[in-house]
Amino acid sequence: MSDNVSRSNPASGDVSGWAVGFTVFAAIMMIMVGVWQALAGLVAIFENEFYVQTRSYLYEFDATTWGWIHLVLGLIVAFAGWGLLSGQTWARIVGITLAALSATANFLFIPYYPFWSMLIIAVNIFVIWALTAHGRQFKELKQAQAEYEMRR
């Protein structure tokens, strides 16, 4: 009843291939979302009329303000994604926090660009799930690889 697919078993220290795959995918998505969000911020900063402002919206900011929010948040999210790919524990914690912050910022940005905001919110929710459910296993794999390289 044995197969070649590795499964996660905390007692034996095995690391699931699926868990590592989800975490790597989440890290790559964080980098991509960060870059996309930074580009959306640059568009709002340089082309102020690109986003249509709505009337009577509680969180109504100037498009330039939203641009700076998205630019800074996007760059930080991309940086945390890069740290996550390198197996840093701080990047996992920061990644979860920033994904939640990014989802909140995009929720507030829905009236300006609805489809884009909903897409980024969905990706952020996946990133939060992947990092909370499988992030520790990715770190264990990175540590095992480092130990293997030292023995070699």
pLDDT per residue over 22-69, tens digit each? 888 888 999 999 999 999 999 989 987 777 766 776 667 777 888 899
The model's pTM: 0.72
Residue pair 136/95 in contact (Cβ under 8 Å)? The answer is no
Q: How confident is the model at residue 14 (pLDDT cuts 50, 70, 90)?
A: low
pLDDT at residue 5 tops 70: no
Question: Please, what is the average pLDDT of the chain?
Answer: 81
pLDDT at residue 135, rounded to an integer: 62
The two three-digit tokens of residue 43, written as one number: 């568009």
Residue pair 120/33 in contact (Cβ under 8 Å)? The answer is yes
- Residue range 84-105: mean pLDDT, rounded: 88
Give 83 or 142, the one with higher predicted confidence: 83
Residue 65 dihedral angles phi and psi, to the nearest 5°? -65, -45
pLDDT at residue 84, rounded to an integer: 86
